Structure 1
Amino acid sequence: MPTPAAHRLRAGLSVAVLTAAALGALLPPAHAAGSDPAHDGRLQRELEQLVGQDDGPPGVIAVLTRGDRTQVYTAGVGDLTTGRPPQLDDHMRIASISKAFSGAVALRLVDRGVLSLDDTIGGVLPTQPPAWHPVTLRQLLQHTSGLPDYSAAPEYLSVLQTDPRHVFDPRTLLDYVADEPLLFRPGSLYEYSNSDNIAIALMAEAATGRRYEDLLKELVYRPLGLEQTSLPLGYRLPHPFLHGYDVTPPAEPEDISEALSASAVWASGGIVSTPKELGAFIRAYAGPTLLSEKTRKEQLTFRPGDSSEPAGPGTNAAGLAIFRYTTRCGVLHGHTGNFPGYTQFAAATPDGTRSLTFSINTQTNKGLKPALLARLRTVQEDFVCALLKDR
């Protein structure tokens, strides 16, 4: 059994890996999805090599959808205890891809005239610190707001270190940095911040008088038929789920799937979904069906060189709660995420007809296992090329 211990939260959602004692199970052999003759053996081998690394994930699942045809590649396991491979309908923490969901809510409200991209924190959330009042919804969506990141605040981290499963009131998360000034003049620089999407959700609530969770259901889940996607406040995951692990050799992998409360990240990273439903979401959000042409034009106004966290394959550029990934084989629009136990990538072609979701069950980012992240991005780009083949 793992021993409880405090861990500092790491990067993208910025929080944490909780220390590992031994889990006691060795990594089982890779499970190959290579029996399908349509599968590319080279891609399958890349996944097996990824899970075969000493610090690599116990499992990986990559889902390529082209129109009504879906290919599922897996290697390794989604549960070290049972040896069960990752599955298309496994629940998992999608981490910062949750930011694309809050983007979808906000941009759909813009389409309805309930919000404007030029609305300010001061105009919609007047009780927030006066120094933040000039920040616009557009700047929040594109991470050019200058808001200090609450998930790096010492008091917030102290609460998590004391009680990783602490249930926060998510509507007060910004209070941890309420005494701090803006990091820079709004609109002048790019800095990825978890505070931005908390503020976006609060603006959506203030503009509608409705809970953010209910807005997700009305504006995103129901229109897209997402029945297994949710935003919990606690630490439990629905069954079945893709188990997430802290992999820190030479210690055995530790299961940290339910080590943290989702309330700690809320609209910035708390959503739980499945590979199947994540693909459906990203095809709609990156494609032309969810938003009006006018709003989508604003969404897809990109800042070159600004990366998601962690960076996705190819060259990254930041839009409004969406990123452009320019690879050697073509362009996808989407989002990445990382959270203790999980690293995620979901992207689709601009016409919304093809998508790739790529999920591993350990965390990596630019500050945590950067060599693993570099390898991951290379494999993801090869899958992008497979997705775009014959276009």
Structure 2
Amino acid sequence: MPSRASVRRFRAGLPAAALSVTVLSALLAPAQAVGAGPDPAGGRPSHAGSLQRQLEQLVAQDDGPPGVIAVLTKGKKAQVYTAGVGDIATGRPPHPDDHMRIASIAKAFSGAVALRLVDKKLLSLDATIGDVLPDQPEDWHEVTLRQLLQHTSGLPDFSADPEFLSIIQADPRHVFDSRKLLDFVAGEPLLFRPGTLYEYSNSDNIAVALMAEAVTGRRYEDLLKELVYRPVGLHRTSLPQGYRLPRPFLHGYDVAPPAAPEDVSELIGTSGVWASGGIVSTPKELGAFIRAYGGPTLLSKKTRQEQLTFRPGDSSEPAGPGTNAAGLAIFQYTTRCGVLYGHTGNTPGYTQLAATSPDGTRSLTFSINTQTSKSNKPALLARLRTVQENFACALLKDH
């Protein structure tokens, strides 16, 4: 059974084997090279050895993840780097087709659904909760879809509610009615006047999904399939309600030295995070999604301009590489080597980054199989962001 300590570390957001670099290129693109990929002269990129060492150093830390996988995609070529293990019990390395919890990157998927409905003129960014969800608390009625997507709504966060947390701590696999998660905070006023402040809240994207359902009369899970999975070509991405992960999967661990890492991959059911953090995907498919959503192909030019209107200084949770700014269910990461658009997430056993170049031709997915955030092992997060920025620079360089 999962330990109480690992359960307490939940926030929807909630000895390693020998190190290796994988040779997985043929699985990703027909013309792709072996290992970390070739440079124009026929060898490995000059940065490949440095990047590999950084991953090895990350998993070698006492509080570091048992494993890590980073996938850099440039056009039709992908470079796959791994260190450590995706399953301590077998010593199996991480793989780009492994299923994994993407945590709050699920918020980018709800953003994709909502913004595609805006393009279809079924929703407006200025539509309010009162317009679309009149049964929600009257105090919330002036909150707009735009404010929900940019975390400036002021909605109280259901996942911080004491009653919600007590249920999770008593039964981590409790099955919630996902469409009633906002009931936990329905009696609470807004935290601030909508549009005046930024505060990352899991309630926001629950409301976004409910608005999408209300204007279409269709289940959010079906809207994901129609508006996101099919257009992007995702076949291994899903929004389950239970705690099981599809096989094979990247195992997630609670790492709290001196205790041995604890497998928490299937610790918590996803009905309690739903549109804010419940999606399961793979490194390969996560890259395809972020290139479409952060690039120019999925949305109209007008809607994309709204999506990419950023608030400087407002960060994803956890913060991504470089300087962060918040758009509509997407973040801008300004690194020393250039700009990426993307999203991050963390939940027990997993910390995720998915980012793309603005033109949608290059992407980086970076997955570790333990949780870190500004409140959970912040020193590990600082090291992680440094490595992520170095990978971002490798992605943005011409060679």
- Please classify the TM superposition score into its range, dividing by the shorter chain length: over 0.9
* Alignment match, 2:106: 98
Percent same amino acid at aligned positions?
77
* Contact 2:13 2:277 (C-alpha < 8 Å) held by counterparts: no
* Contact 2:13 2:345 (C-alpha < 8 Å) held by counterparts: no
In the alignment, structure 1 residue 310 sits paired with structure 2 residue 325:
no
* Alignment match, 1:235: 243
* Alignment match, 1:250: 258
* Alignment match, 2:174: 166
In the alignment, structure 1 residue 319 sits paired with structure 2 residue 327:
yes
Deviation at 1:29, TM superposition (A): 1.6
TM-score calculated relative to the size of structure 1: 0.95
* Contact 1:104 1:220 (C-alpha < 8 Å) held by counterparts: yes
* Contact 1:96 1:268 (C-alpha < 8 Å) held by counterparts: yes
Partners of 2:7 and 2:97 in 1: CA distance: 30
- The verdict on how the C-alpha distance between 1:290 and 1:2 changes in structure 2, with shifts beyond 3 A counting, is closer
In the alignment, structure 1 residue 28 sits paired with structure 2 residue 36:
no
Partners of 1:282 and 1:14 in 2: CA distance: 18
In the alignment, structure 1 residue 121 sits paired with structure 2 residue 117:
no
Equivalences for residues 48-67 of structure 1 within 5 A: 48-67=56-75
Task: Tell me how many residue pairs correspond in the alignment.
Answer: 380
* Alignment match, 2:344: 336
* Alignment match, 2:7: 7
Partners of 2:380 and 2:176 in 1: CA distance: 32
Partners of 1:285 and 1:90 in 2: CA distance: 21
Deviation at 1:31, TM superposition (A): 1.8
Question: Deviation above 6 Å: which 4+ runs of structure 1?
Answer: none
SS of match in other structure, 2:91: coil
Partners of 2:4 and 2:198 in 1: CA distance: 37
Partners of 1:10 and 1:191 in 2: CA distance: 19
* Contact 1:313 1:325 (C-alpha < 8 Å) held by counterparts: yes
In the alignment, structure 1 residue 346 sits paired with structure 2 residue 354:
yes
* Contact 1:122 1:132 (C-alpha < 8 Å) held by counterparts: yes
Partners of 1:344 and 1:214 in 2: CA distance: 25
In the alignment, structure 1 residue 216 sits paired with structure 2 residue 263:
no
* Contact 2:4 2:169 (C-alpha < 8 Å) held by counterparts: no
* Contact 1:93 1:272 (C-alpha < 8 Å) held by counterparts: yes
The root-mean-square deviation of aligned C-alpha atoms, in Å, is 1.3
* Contact 2:102 2:345 (C-alpha < 8 Å) held by counterparts: yes
Deviation at 1:294, TM superposition (A): 0.3
Q: Give the partner amino acid of 2:296.
A: P
Partners of 2:253 and 2:6 in 1: CA distance: 16
CA offsets per residue over residues 242-273 of structure 1, 9 Å max, x none?
00000000000000000000111000000000
Q: Give the partner amino acid of 1:7.
A: V
* Contact 2:13 2:276 (C-alpha < 8 Å) held by counterparts: no
* Alignment match, 1:365: 373
Partners of 1:6 and 1:153 in 2: CA distance: 18
In the alignment, structure 1 residue 294 sits paired with structure 2 residue 302:
yes
In the alignment, structure 1 residue 38 sits paired with structure 2 residue 44:
yes
Q: Give the partner amino acid of 2:195.
A: G
Deviation at 1:4, TM superposition (A): 6.3
CA offsets per residue over residues 60-106 of structure 1, 9 Å max, x none?
00000000000000000000000000001000000000000000000
Q: Give the partner amino acid of 1:77.
A: V
* Contact 1:337 1:344 (C-alpha < 8 Å) held by counterparts: yes
In the alignment, structure 1 residue 284 sits paired with structure 2 residue 292:
yes
Partners of 1:5 and 1:190 in 2: CA distance: 30
Partners of 1:7 and 1:239 in 2: CA distance: 23
Gaps of 5+ in 2: 24-34, 37-42
Deviation at 1:32, TM superposition (A): 2.5
In the alignment, structure 1 residue 68 sits paired with structure 2 residue 57:
no
Partners of 1:238 and 1:383 in 2: CA distance: 28
- The verdict on how the C-alpha distance between 1:246 and 1:3 changes in structure 2, with shifts beyond 3 A counting, is closer
In the alignment, structure 1 residue 141 sits paired with structure 2 residue 149:
yes
- The verdict on how the C-alpha distance between 1:171 and 1:118 changes in structure 2, with shifts beyond 3 A counting, is same
Deviation at 1:27, TM superposition (A): 1.7
Q: Give the partner amino acid of 2:44.
A: A
* Contact 1:9 1:157 (C-alpha < 8 Å) held by counterparts: no
Name whichever of 38-47 and 360-369 sits farther off: 38-47
Partners of 2:278 and 2:5 in 1: CA distance: 22
